[in-house]
Amino acid sequence: MTVLHLADGREAADLVAFLSRLLHYDRGAAVRLQASGTALAVFGRPPSFEVLAVRAVRLAKPYEDGPEATLDVTVSAGELLESVDEAAATAAVPGAVTGPPWAGVLPPRKGWQAAEPGLPAPEALRALVAAAVAEFKTRTGELAPQSRTRTELDRIGREIWSRTVARTDLPVRAVHAAQSLGFLRAPAAAGPPAGTAGGSGEPVLLLVSGPWLRLRTPYGSIALRRAGTGGGLGLSVR
């Protein structure tokens, strides 16, 4: 069995947290793993947000198939979570699964550029999500019992989460996903991620590559295709 040697216990703990959050939204979640050299990328798709989440993990050494080899496999998020040994900072790669459609495709690896205008500060983004959640609760709470249907709840949710952030094309749901997956954590709640400068000075960037948008933080990224460019995730095949 392939064993990944993570850089340290903190990287292992962050991977555990990310997988746990994905499983909160989908108990049968799958993740796609790509490892090359000492870098591991973990891709997941929380269904509630219709975005791709990407968590980068540092490895202490190239995985066991050798420094010139690469790993690219889709596995059960739950099985991967169970295999993580935080004390030893290792993770055993489970057997491959037949993944959902998104797992066969990925957003571009290269060609990302900073978008203009950029995003507000992280604290403003967190406040934006909190205000949207509060609005959803207020509006749905005001519905008459006979009107409180799944269709109406979904309609209100789509209206709120499809709004864009400031003067960008980024929908609020992407920021909500980043917040829910721990990518927008406040510096006071947790220190900087392993291997980064960290702290309040770490920017949250909005990047663009063709029709793609990417919200990048020191803790992970959210990627999605811009509205009006084909619908859905519209991922390019890898």
pTM over 0.95: no
Return d(Cα 165, Cα 44) in angstroms, integer.
23
* Residue 66 or residue 100, greater confidence: 100
Residue 80 lies in a domain: yes
pLDDT at 68: 55
CATH of the domain at 64: 3.70.10.10
Residues 100 and 151 in one domain: no
pLDDT at 21: 96
Q: Which of 64-68, 87-91, 114-118 has the lowest mean pLDDT?
A: 64-68
Q: Tell me what percent of the residues of the chain surpass a pLDDT of 70.
A: 85
Residue 155 lies in a domain: yes
pLDDT at 62: 77
Residue 230 lies in a domain: no
* Residue 88 or residue 101, greater confidence: 88
Confidence of residue 198 (pLDDT cuts 50, 70, 90): very low
Question: With contact defined as beta carbons under 8 Å apart, do 62 and 37 qualify?
Answer: yes
* pLDDT tens sequence across 34-47: 998 889 999 999 98
Neighbouring-strand partners of residue 188: none
Residues 20 and 82 in one domain: yes
Residues 100 and 8 in one domain: yes
Return d(Cα 5, Cα 10) in angstroms, integer.
12
Residue 223 lies in a domain: no
At which residue do the structure tokens 């699964």 appear? 97
Residue 38 lies in a domain: yes
Residues 95 and 168 in one domain: no
The closest alpha carbon to 132, from 176, 167, 93, 94, belongs to 176
Q: Tell me which residue range forms the domain holding 44.
A: 3-106
Residue 228 lies in a domain: no
Whether residue 113 has pLDDT greater than 90: yes
> How many domains are contained in the chain?
2
